[in-house]
Amino acid sequence: MRPILEARDLTKTYRAGDGEVRALQGISLAVEPGEFVAFMGPSGSGKTTLLQLLGGLDRPTSGEVVLEGVTISSMHDDEATRLRRDKTGFVFQAFNLVPLLSARENVALPFLLAGSGPGDPDVRARVDDALRLVDLDAKADRRPSELAFGEQQRVAIARAIAGRPAILFADEPTGNLDYATGIEILEYLYRSCAERGQTVVLVTHDAQAGAYADRVLFLRDGRVLEEIGLGRRSEHPARPLIERLALLGQ
Amino acid sequence: MLGPAWLGLRTLRRRPLRTALTVAGIAIGVALVFAALSVDAAASSGAAGYAAQLDGRADLAVQAFGEGTLSQATVATIDATSGVLATSPQVRRPSFAWASPGAGPGSSPGTGATAPAGSLAGIGSVGSSGLGAAAAGGAPAASGAAALAPVATRSLGAVTVVGVDPNAYRALHDESLASGQALSSSDGAGVVLAEPWAGAHGLAVGSRIALMGGGGERTYVVRGILAASGPALADGGDLAWMTIASARALFALPAGSADLVELRVDPAVGVPAVESRLEARLSTQPYLLSTSADEAAALAGASSSLGTGLLLVAAVVLFVGALLVSDALAMSVTERTREVGLLRAAGATRRQVHAMVLAEALGLGAAGSVLGLVVGALVAAVLVPVVGSVTGAPVSGTPIDPGSLAVAVLLGLLVTVVAALGPAWRAGRVAPVEALRAPTRSAPPAGLDRSAVGGAAASVAGTAVLVLGGAVTASSAQGGIAGTAGPLGALVEAVAAALAILVLVVAAGLVAPPVLRLSGAIVGAVATPLRRSLGAEVRIARRSVAHDPWRVSVAFTALATGLALFVALSGVADGMRRAGEAWIADVAPADYAVVAVSPVPDSFGTELSAVPGVRSVTPVRLFDVAIAGRRASAVAVDPGAYGGLGALTVVGGGSRTAALASLQAGGAALVPQAIADRFGLRVGDSLGLRTASGSVTLRVAAIVAHSLPGASGESVVVSQSDAARSLGITGASMFLVRADNPADAALGTALSRVAGQYALSVVRPAAIGGAVGGALDRTFGLLDVLALAGVVVAALSMLDVLLMDVRQRVGELGLLRAAGLTRAQAWRAVVVEAGILGLASALVGSVAGTAGSALVLAAGSGAPGFALGVPWPAIGLALVLGIAGTVIAATYPARLAARIDIPRALRAE
Ligand SMILES: Nc1ncnc2c1ncn2[C@@H]1O[C@H](COP(=O)(O)OP(=O)(O)OP(=O)(O)O)[C@@H](O)[C@H]1O
Ligand SMILES: [Mg+2]
C-alpha cells in the first residue's frame, strides 16, 4: 500500500544565538493509512520539530515531506495552510482551543476557516459526530474556560478528527494531565484509529502512551535510533515496550 | 531610590514602536496647544499694537451720543477738566467722494448724515477706527431729507472725513507724510488723504476731490498723503483729513462743536480719576467714554476668540493624547504583571512601583513636549498669517512666545502624569505572587479593573481640560468678546461645544460595549453576502471585539472624541451658515440693497423703480435712538411694503399679520429679541424712544426674531409715520430692491450706475451672506484641520491597541494558523476588527458631535425655531475617517498577525 505520509532525509537546523542547533539530522520514515505511530525519545531529541515538519507547520532545512502524494514541504504558505486545514488535525499539549469560542465552535473551526457557517447541516452533523466520539455532546456549548483540562483535550481531539483528516498529529496531548485522564485521552485517540481507521501520529514521553501505538520510532539527537513494531493494541500489552525502552535508557 | 524609576525608563526602549506612537500623540497635542497659545499671543499683541497706533498718545475719548454733537461748551468743559493735559476735538463722519476735474458741480443742498446700514455692509469684517469708531458709525445732526441732484463725475465711494485742529491733533498722533505737506490750521480748502485710499483711486498731491456732507458738496485740493501707519490705519485707510472748521462747514455743524474729543491724561492723575471727573462735569449732553484699553480689548476680541477656538480644539487633541498615554501605560503594566510581581517579591515597595510607572510617563511626556514645541513652532508660523487673514485684524509677533512655551510644556507633562496615575495605581496593586503564577492564555480578567483605570484616567484628564477650557473662556470673556456679534463671536460658543462634547464622550466610554456589539453586528450584516469568502474573518473579529470591550475602550473613546469634535464643528458651522442665510432672508429680503451715506428722500425710490428689471423698491430709514438713556438703533419702515417682502418673523405677541397691522395703525413698535432681552421688554410694555428732535412712547406690539442691524445692533422697527411725526426722522437710508429676475447680473450694474450718481452704493444681501459663509468656512476649516489632528492621535492609539492585541493573541493566532487560517485570513481578521472599532467610534462620535452642535446652536440662537440640522456630510466624513483611520492603523498589526511564526507561537505558550 502507498504510504499516506512520507519523510525523506529531513534535516532541520535552528539558528540559536551565534550557534546552530541541528534538531533533526536526516530522518526518513513512512506512515501507512490507518496506522497509529508514536514518536518517543528524550527531551530535545527533536520529536516536536519532526511533528511540525510532517504537519506542514514549518519547513525543513532539507529533505521533503509528502502527504498523500503531494510535497507539502515545498509548498507556498497558502497552499500548505489549505492542505493543513483539509488534510490534517492537530492536538497540542495545551491551549488547543480558542478561548472565545464554544466547544462546538472550536470543533467547527476548520470548516469555519474554510468558509462554511456553523449552521451548515453537513458541518453540524460532522461536528456532532466528532463530539459524540469524545462523549462531549452534552457540553458542546461551553466555553473552554468552563471545561476541565481533560475535557478541553477531548474537544481538541474532536476538532482534529471532525474534518476527517488524512492524518491526526498529537504532540504530548496527555502531558498536562493526571494519569487516569491521560489514559482516557489515549483511549479516545485509539478509538478514532480503531473505529474509523484514522491515521494517528503521536509524540509522547510516556511508555504507557506509546504502548497504544502500532509502531514506535525512538528518536535521539535528531535521528531515529530504533523502530519498535508492536502491532494493534488489542493484541499486545504495554509491558514489552516498557522493557524495550528501559534497554534504550529511558 | 532610583532603581525602579530607571527600570521604567528602560521599558520605553523595550517597546520602541509604542513609545514612538505615544510620544507622537503627546507631541501633536502639545504642538497644537503651543501653536494656539502663540497665535493668541500674537493676535493680542497685534491688536494692542494696532490700537496703540490708532490712538497715539490719546488715553481717552469722549464721543457724542446718538443724534448730536458735543457742543462748544462741552468741548471747553473737557478741555478745562483738571488732569487733562491735551485735547483734540474732531469731527469724524462718513462722506462720499468724487474725483473732481475742476470745480465741483455746484453745491447741492445736503442733509444730515446718519450711518448707512454700515453694520449690514460690515458683517463679518472686523475693523475699527480706533477711539472714534462709534462716532464715525453714527453721529449726526439734523434729520430732514432734501432733494439730491445727480453728479456726473467719477465716484470714489465712501470715505471717512476727519476734521481736526492740526496742531492739537499732532500733539496726540504721529503722522508720517508720504508726500506733499501736512495740513495747516488755516487751510480751508485742503485735505490730506491716507495712502491706501489715495493710491487705490489714483489721487496725488494737487488732485481735486469733491466730498459730500450735510452742508452740501464741496471741492478740496489734496495737499498731502499720509503713509499707512498711525492714525492712517483706521477704517482700512479710507480717510480724508481736513481742518475742523472745514469739516464743520462740510457737514453744516455748529461752530465750536465736535463729534469727539480725544484727550491725553496726566499720568500723575490717572485715567480713572479723569474719567470720574468728566462724568461729574459733563451733565448737559449725552456722551460716550472710551479708553484705549477698551479699544485694544475690543480689537483683540475677534482674533482672540479664534485663538480661543484653536486652543479649545488643541486642548481636546491633547486630551485625546492623554488617553493614548493612559492606554499605553496600562498595556505596559498588563504586559509586565509578572515582572512587577517579581520586583515586589524582591522587595520593591508600592511607591517604587508607582515611581517606575510615573518615570515612564514623565519620559514620554518630556519627549513628547520637546518634539511638540518644535512642531508647534512650525504650526504657529503657518497659523499666525492664516489667522490674520481669517479675522481681518492685524496679527503680529513672533511664533515663539516664551509664556506659551512654558504653558504648553507644563500642560504636556501634567496631562501625561495625570494620565499615568491610573496605570501606576494599578501597577502598585500587583501582588508579589503574580510572579509565581503561570501565564495563562485566556485573557486576564481585567474587565472591571480596566474600566476603572480607563474611566478614572478619562475623567481626570477630561476634568483638567474642562478647567482649562473654563479658564480660557473666562479670560476671553473678560477680554471683551461680545459673544454674539459676527461669525467669530460664535467661536466662544464653539468653546461651549467642545466642553459639551467632552462630557458626552467621557460618557461615551461607558457605552463602549453595546456600541461595539452593535457595530460588530452591522459589519456582520454587511459581510453576509460575502460569507463564504469572509465569514471566518468577520466571526473572529467580532468575537475578539466583543470579548473584552474594556481593552479597547480608551482608544475607542479617543477616536470618538476626535470625530465628535469634527462633527460638532461642522454642525455648528452649518447651523451658523443656515442661520445667517435665514437672517438675511428675514431682515433684508431683497435682491439688492441700495445704501445711502446720508439719508435721501424716499422719492429717490422712484428713480430706482424706473431702472428696467426692477420689480419693487422699498425704502427704509435706520437711525439712532436712546432707550432708557442708552444708545440703540431703530428703523423706520412702511409696514405694508416692508412686511410685503416677507421680512420679520414674529416670535412673541401673536401673528405676523397682526403685528404689521399694529405697526400700520401707529403707536406701536416691533422689538427684536436681542433688544427685548437687553432692555427686558415684553409684548404690551411701553417703550420710550428719544432722538435729538423728539421723543415718543410706543407699545411693544410683538417681538421679532431679527431686524435690520444699525450702528448699535439690531433695530427697533417703527412705522415711517410715527418716525416722521414724533421723532423727526424722514427719508431713507436704504432701499430694498426686488428684481424681476434675481439672476440678472446686468441689473446690478444698472442700479450701481444710477445709485453712484447720487452717492449711493449697491450691495447684494446674498453676497453678504456669502461673505459671512466664506469667513465661517475659513474659520471652521482651520478648526477642522486641528480636529483631524485629534483623529490622527486617536488612530495612533488604535494602532497601539491593535499591536498589543496581536501580541497578546500570538498563541491563539498560532493555533488558528495551525488549524488552517491562511495568512490573508489572519490579516483580514485584524483589519475587520479595526473596521468594527472605527465604525463604533464614528457612531458614538457622530451622535455626540451632533448633540454637541445642537446644544451650541440652541444656546447661541436664543430664539426658538433655530435651524437644527444633522450635519450628514460631516457624519459621512467622520464614518469614512473613523473606519479608514483605524483600518490604516491596523495594517501594520495585521501584517504582524499574518507573519507570525507558527512553531514559535505554539512554543511560546
Ligand atoms: N525555535 C528554536 N530555536 C532554536 N532551537 C530550537 C528551536 N526549537 C527547538 N529547538 C531546539 O531543537 C531541539 C529539538 O527540540 P524539540 O522541541 O523538537 O525537542 P522535543 O523532542 O520535542 O523535546 P521535548 O520532549 O522537551 O518537547 C532542542 O535542542 C531545542 O532546544
Ligand atoms: Mg516537544
Q: Give the closest of B536, B543, B824 to A100, CB-based.
A: B543
Query: Looking at the structure, do residues B504 and B609 belong to the same domain, yes or no?
Result: no
Residue B125 domain flag: yes
Task: Find chain A residues with C-beta within 8 A of B909's C-beta.
Answer: 94-95
Residue B424 domain flag: yes
Using the 3D structure, point to which of B740, B763, B786 is the last residue of a domain.
B763
Q: Which residues contact B346 (CB under 8 A, 6 or more apart)?
A: none
Q: In chain A, which residue's Cα lies nearest the Cα of B809?
A: A98
Query: Looking at the structure, do residues B226 and B350 belong to the same domain, yes or no?
Result: no
The residue behind cell 463679518 is: B124
Query: Looking at the structure, do residues B145 and B45 belong to the same domain, yes or no?
Result: no
Query: Looking at the structure, do residues B246 and B207 belong to the same domain, yes or no?
Result: yes
Query: Looking at the structure, do residues B509 and B395 belong to the same domain, yes or no?
Result: no
Q: In chain B, which residue's Cα lies nearest the Cα of A92?
A: B906
**CA within 13 Å, CB half, B719:** 21
Pick the ligand that lies closest to the CA of residue A45. Answer: 1
Query: Looking at the structure, do residues B751 and B860 belong to the same domain, yes or no?
Result: no
| pLDDT < 70 positions in chain B | 1-6, 65-68, 101-154, 215, 285-286, 292-306, 308, 345-347, 386-399, 432-509, 530-533, 550, 580, 597, 629, 711-712, 766-776, 856-868, 908-909
Q: Give the closest of A55, A100, A109 to B544, CB-based.
A: A100
Task: Find chain B residues with C-beta within 8 A of A85's C-beta.
Answer: 819-821
Query: Looking at the structure, do residues B539 and B657 belong to the same domain, yes or no?
Result: no
pLDDT of residue B476: 43
Query: Looking at the structure, do residues B686 and B623 belong to the same domain, yes or no?
Result: yes
Residue B421 domain flag: yes
Task: Find chain A residues with C-beta within 8 A of B543's C-beta.
Answer: 100-101
A176 touches chain B (CB under 8 A): no
| Residues B205, B223 contacting (CB under 8 angstroms) | yes
Residue B281 domain flag: no
pLDDT of residue B805: 83
To the nearest whole Å, the CA of A100 is away from the closest chain B CA by 6
**Domain limits for position B321:** 1-66+286-484
ipTM score over 0.85, yes or no: no
Using the 3D structure, point to which of B763, B791, B815 is the last residue of a domain.
B763
To the nearest whole Å, the CA of B307 is away from the closest chain A CA by 49
**Number of the ligand 1 atom closest to the C-alpha atom of A42:** 25
Query: Looking at the structure, do residues B165 and B177 belong to the same domain, yes or no?
Result: yes
Q: Give the closest of A84, A92, A112 to B906, CB-based.
A: A92
Dump pLDDT digits (tens) for B797-852. 888 888 888 888 888 888 889 888 899 999 999 999 999 999 998 998 888 888 87
Pick the ligand that lies closest to the CA of residue A43. Answer: 1
To the nearest whole Å, the CA of B524 is away from the closest chain A CA by 13
Q: How far is the CA of A55 from the centre of ligand 1 (A)?
A: 16
Q: How far is the CA of A157 from the centre of ligand 1 (A)?
A: 24
Q: Choose among A244, A222, A201, A247: nearest CA to A34.
A: A201
| Residues B225, B178 contacting (CB under 8 angstroms) | yes
Across the A/B interface, how many CB contacts are shorter than 8 Å? 82
Burial degree of B606 (CB within 10 A; 0-12, 13-18, 19+): exposed
Query: Looking at the structure, do residues B494 and B541 belong to the same domain, yes or no?
Result: yes
| Residues B229, B198 contacting (CB under 8 angstroms) | no
**Number of the ligand 1 atom closest to the C-alpha atom of A203:** 22
Look up residue B459 and give its amino acid: S
To the nearest whole Å, the CA of A54 is away from the closest chain B CA by 12
Pick the ligand that lies closest to the CA of residue A171. Answer: 2
Q: How far is the CA of A49 from the centre of ligand 1 (A)?
A: 6
Burial degree of A145 (CB within 10 A; 0-12, 13-18, 19+): exposed
Per-domain residue ranges of chain A: 5-247
Q: Which residue among A11, A27, A48, A223 is best mutated to probe the pocket of ligand 1, counting the most ligand atoms within 8 A of its Cβ?
A: A48
Neighbours of B81 (CB within 10 A): 19
Residue B78 domain flag: no
Task: Find chain B residues with C-beta within 8 A of A112's C-beta.
Answer: 535-536, 539
Test the B interface: residue of A14, A15, A112, A176 with most B CBs within 10 Å: A112
Domain count, chain B: 4
Task: Please judge whether A100 and B903 are an interchain contact, meaning their C-beta atoms are less than 8 angstroms apart.
Answer: no
To the nearest whole Å, the CA of B840 is away from the closest chain A CA by 21
Q: Give the closest of B532, B539, B823 to A78, CB-based.
A: B823
pLDDT of residue B103: 37
pLDDT of residue B136: 35
The sign of the torsion formed by the CA atoms of B863, B864, B869, B871 equals positive
The model's pTM is: 0.70
| pLDDT < 50 positions in chain A | none
pLDDT of residue B903: 86
Q: Which residues contact B426 (CB under 8 A, 6 or more apart)?
A: B330, B333, B449, B453
pLDDT of residue B124: 30
Query: Looking at the structure, do residues B749 and B776 belong to the same domain, yes or no?
Result: no
Q: Output A141-149 pairs: Cβ under 8 A, ≥24 positions apart.
A: A141/A102, A141/A103, A141/A104, A142/A102, A142/A103, A143/A99, A143/A100, A143/A101, A143/A102, A143/A103, A144/A97, A144/A98, A144/A99, A144/A101, A144/A103, A144/A106, A144/B442, A145/A99, A145/B442, A147/A103, A149/A94, A149/A176, A149/A177, A149/A181
To the nearest whole Å, the CA of B817 is away from the closest chain A CA by 7
Task: Find chain B residues with C-beta within 8 A of A117's C-beta.
Answer: 531, 535
Q: In chain A, which residue's Cα lies nearest the Cα of B541?
A: A100
Query: Looking at the structure, do residues B573 and B720 belong to the same domain, yes or no?
Result: no
Residue B505: all three cell numbers together: 464622550
Neighbours of A246 (CB within 10 A): 10
pLDDT of residue B142: 34
Q: Give the closest of B547, B824, B909 to A100, CB-based.
A: B547
Q: How far is the CA of A50 from the centre of ligand 1 (A)?
A: 10
Using the 3D structure, point to which of B733, B763, B793 is the last residue of a domain.
B763
Q: In chain A, which residue's Cα lies nearest the Cα of B545?
A: A100
As a whole number of angstroms, the distance between CA B263 and CA B60 comes to: 5
Task: Please judge whether B909 and A94 are an interchain contact, meaning their C-beta atoms are less than 8 angstroms apart.
Answer: yes
Residue B313 domain flag: yes
- Name the class of domain A5-247: alpha beta
**Number of the ligand 1 atom closest to the C-alpha atom of A15:** 4
Task: Please judge whether A112 and B825 are an interchain contact, meaning their C-beta atoms are less than 8 angstroms apart.
Answer: no
Task: Find chain A residues with C-beta within 8 A of B906's C-beta.
Answer: 52, 57, 92
Taking CA atoms only, the protein residue closest to ligand 1 atom 27 is A43
Test the A interface: residue of B517, B534, B817 with most A CBs within 10 Å: B817
Dump pLDDT digits (tens) for A120-149. 888 899 999 999 988 998 999 998 888 998
What lines the ligand 1 site, CB under 6 Å?
A: A 14, 16, 21, 23, 41, 43-49; B 904
As a whole number of angstroms, the distance between CA B896 and CA B581 comes to: 53
Q: Please, which residues have CB less than 5 A from ligand 2, an ion?
A: A 48
Q: How far is the CA of B340 from the centre of ligand 1 (A)?
A: 29
pLDDT of residue B864: 38
Cα-Cα end-to-end distance for chain B: 35
Percent above pLDDT 90 for chain B: 15
Task: Please judge whether A55 and B535 are an interchain contact, meaning their C-beta atoms are less than 8 angstroms apart.
Answer: no
Phi–psi pair at B205, nearest 5 degrees = -55, 130
Q: How far is the CA of A178 from the centre of ligand 2 (A)?
A: 18
As a whole number of angstroms, the distance between CA B160 and CA B158 comes to: 7
Task: Please judge whether A99 and B441 are an interchain contact, meaning their C-beta atoms are less than 8 angstroms apart.
Answer: yes
